[in-house]
Amino acid sequence: MAEHALIFPNARGENLVGVFHEPLQTPRAAMVMLHGWSGTRCGPHQMLTRAARLFCEHNYAILRFDFAGRGDSDGDTELATLATMQGDARAAFAWMRAQTPAPLLVLGLCSGCEIAVASVEDSLGGAILWSAPVFAALPSEERAAKKRGANLKKYARKLLNPSTYAKILRGQIDTQAVSKAMAGGGGAASKNLESNQPGQLPRGFRNAALEKWRAFEAPRLQIYGGADPITPEALGWYRDNSGREADVALIEGANHSFYGLDWEHQVFERTLEWLGKWQREREK
Amino acid sequence: MQAFFFPTGDALRLFGVWRGVEAARRVWVLCPPFAEEEKSARRVLTLIAQELEKRGESSLLFSFRGTGDSEGDFAAANLTAWREDLRAARDEVKKRAPHAEIALLGVRLGATLALLEAESLGAQTLVLIEPLLSGRSFLMQQSAKKQIRAQLTGEAEAKSDHSPSDDLDGWKLGAGMKTELSTLDLKREMPSFSRKAHIFQVGPRAEVAPPLQHFADGLNSQARAVVMPPFWNLIDYSDPAPLLDGLKSEVFDG
């Protein structure tokens, strides 16, 4: 195995920083990994780096990179949208295709899954989606109200616990983050308005991407944390908006970013099992 | 910009990004914070590197072994090895820019390690952003944060072959790291640095907190408060303009 640091340009001429994991033998498949909205190519708790190293040991060629405006890459953080990230992902696909003729897979984590959805091409061999949220969700009042209601109930229950008060008073609780969760804010929703303004999506982006995703017929795997609040809604959305049913795995008790060594291990094992199945089906 | 791996003394490869020309008068080694905090801080460090490049200065932003894209097992890493990594980063800078002055800028634990090594690395400039003064307090905060998040969200305790305290949100804390972090106490054992350090407190307070002020006094340096969210702890992007403005006026323009 070899790991190569690299820089490649996107269509806007911005330099993207990445790492290519090259297996010892001819790869069974190539894979481009797409990180979350405000993350980096390494993922939370280095999850994407570790996954790439493990999958490369199993003879998969992997490319991980920072989207423009993220991590080490060039580009303006504020101007990044699902559309600019879609362009970055396509540049990564092209880079990978120039390295190997092996079938190409895409793996997304959190918002990286939205980029995967937006970037699918007929020639992709499959998609792996870890904690995929609803695609390009709008900050609609209905959604925010629903989320606020659920969060308020949950946090009100917790706030009745005297030990929580003690922790808040000692400054051990990030009350800002809790307030944000209660308000249903955060994430990329405000960037998903279609306006043709810098930092927002071009008009027609969502429908065009969804049309391609619905027509995408390759196998896909979706993995979610059992304690991730987005899981039920997201699973329903993908069931209703996909051209093909996904293989779904739930990691019992896990949170959104699988912040635990055992959860991370389970995600890797489930993915490798699925990759084995994916390959057997291709060889039939 | 160049992205590459460079060697450590014990034959690991550390990931680094170089920005700027090799003939720069001053080259900055940018030291990231601990493990998961690096993810949130990475963009801010890149923006600092870009600002330096605009000013004709160069920088090497790297990851300590076992973190980011650097080689090595995090569970086997410890602070002694990370101090050696800083030495390897300095050696890489000297190889690329033999005549340049060395400057160190660190965030949180990266700041602490930069301070511990600054004198022996021959640093001419030292910037410490919210340095970690007590490793024990840091470990307690990490553990409390994990418990509180589990309590608030209802997530289960992650099963593990290791003690829960060794699983730091998906980072396997080795015995060496745990021991060295537990004994790290800059308030008790103040390292020496013969020049003035530039110390920045980042958070909601406009006044420098007494422990950091006391620490700055011990270093014969001044601390400055920058009012902005603690970017190394955030999930979402936060505008680093207040910190960049502080760095420009206090350090880069000087």
Q: What is the pLDDT of residues B149-195, one digit of tens each?
A: 777 766 666 555 656 668 999 999 999 999 999 999 998 888 999 99
Q: What pLDDT was estimated at residue A225?
A: 96
DSSP H stretches of helix in chain B: 36-54, 79-96, 109-121, 135-153, 175-183, 210-218, 241-247
* Assembly ipTM: 0.95
Tell whether the torsion through CA atoms of B229, B234, B236 and B242 is positive or negative: positive
| Domains of chain A as residue ranges with CATH | 2-137+197-283 (3.40.50.1820), 141-182 (no CATH)
Query: In the predicted model, is pLDDT for residue B243 greater than 60?
Result: yes
- Residues in chain A with pLDDT values less than 50: 141-142, 145, 148, 152, 155, 159-160, 162, 165, 168-186
Tell me which chain B residue has its CA closest to the CA of residue A20: B69
Looking at residue B16, its amino acid is G
Strands A2-9 and A15-22: antiparallel
Q: Which two structure tokens, joined as six digits, stand for B133? A: 């003064």
pLDDT: which is higher, A40 or B35: A40
Residues in chain B within 8 Å Cβ distance of A263: 158, 170
Determine the 3-state secondary structure of B136 from DSSP.
helix
**Which residue of B14, B43, B63 is the best one to mutate when testing the A interface, meaning the one whose CB has the most A CBs within 10 A?**
B43
Q: Give the side-chain half-sphere CA count within 13 A for B225.
A: 12
Of B46, B68, B154, the CB nearest to A227: B154
Beta bridge partners of A34: A108
Query: In the predicted model, is pLDDT for residue B2 greater than 90?
Result: yes
Separation in Å, CA of A115 to nearest CA in chain B: 17
Tell me which chain A residue has its CA closest to the CA of residue B34: A45
Query: In the predicted model, is pLDDT for residue B66 greater than 80?
Result: yes
What is the phi-psi region of residue A68: left when phi exceeds 0, alpha when psi lies from -120 to 50, beta otherwise? beta
- B151 vs A47: CB contact, 8 Å cut-off? no
Q: What pLDDT was estimated at residue B150?
A: 73
Burial class (CB in 10 A: 0-12, 13-18, 19+), A62: buried
Q: What pLDDT was estimated at residue A189?
A: 72
Looking at residue A12, its amino acid is R
pLDDT: which is higher, B151 or B213: B213
Q: What value does the mean pLDDT take over residues B27-39?
A: 95
CA-CA distance, A115 to A70, in Å (whole number)? 14
Q: What pLDDT was estimated at residue A158?
A: 53
DSSP type of residue A197: S
Residues in chain B within 8 Å Cβ distance of A52: none
Phi then psi for residue A265, to 5 deg, are -60, -45
Q: What pLDDT was estimated at residue A179?
A: 43
Query: In the predicted model, is pLDDT for residue B238 greater than 50?
Result: yes
Q: What pLDDT was estimated at residue A150?
A: 59
Check if the beta carbon of residue B188 is closer than 8 Å to that of residue B136. no
Check if the beta carbon of residue B41 is closer than 8 Å to that of residue B49. no
CA-CA distance, B221 to B201, in Å (whole number)? 13
Q: What pLDDT was estimated at residue A169?
A: 43
Separation in Å, CA of A127 to nearest CA in chain B: 24
Phi then psi for residue A236, to 5 deg, are -65, -40
- What Cα–Cα distance (Å) separates residue B30 from each residue in B8, B61, B110, B197? 16, 5, 8, 15
- A42 vs B158: CB contact, 8 Å cut-off? no
CA-CA distance, A262 to A257, in Å (whole number)? 12
Q: Could you give the maximum distance between any two Cα atoms of chain B, in Å?
A: 56
pLDDT in tens, A154-199: 545 554 454 554 554 444 444 444 444 433 334 567 788 898 888 9
- A71 vs B42: CB contact, 8 Å cut-off? yes
Q: Quick one: what percent of chain B has pLDDT higher than 90?
A: 82
Of the pLDDT bands very low, low, confident and very high (cuts 50, 70, 90), residue B145 is confident
DSSP H stretches of helix in chain A: 47-57, 82-99, 111-119, 141-159, 162-169, 175-183, 205-215, 231-241, 261-283
Sole residue written with tokens 């793996």:
A107
Kindly state whether A46 is in contact with chain B, defined as any CB-CB distance less than 8 angstroms: yes
Residues in chain B within 8 Å Cβ distance of A255: 149, 153, 155
Phi then psi for residue B202, to 5 deg, are -120, 125
Separation in Å, CA of B67 to nearest CA in chain A: 7
- A71 vs B4: CB contact, 8 Å cut-off? no
**Which residue of A10, A33, A72, A179 is the best one to mutate when testing the B interface, meaning the one whose CB has the most B CBs within 10 A?**
A72
- A46 vs B68: CB contact, 8 Å cut-off? yes
Of the pLDDT bands very low, low, confident and very high (cuts 50, 70, 90), residue B113 is very high
Burial class (CB in 10 A: 0-12, 13-18, 19+), B223: buried
| Domains of chain B as residue ranges with CATH | 2-134+186-252 (3.40.50.1820)
- B156 vs A252: CB contact, 8 Å cut-off? yes
pLDDT in tens, B48-61: 999 999 999 999 99
**Which residue of B2, B6, B45, B46 is the best one to mutate when testing the A interface, meaning the one whose CB has the most A CBs within 10 A?**
B46
Q: What value does the mean pLDDT take over residues B87-114?
A: 97
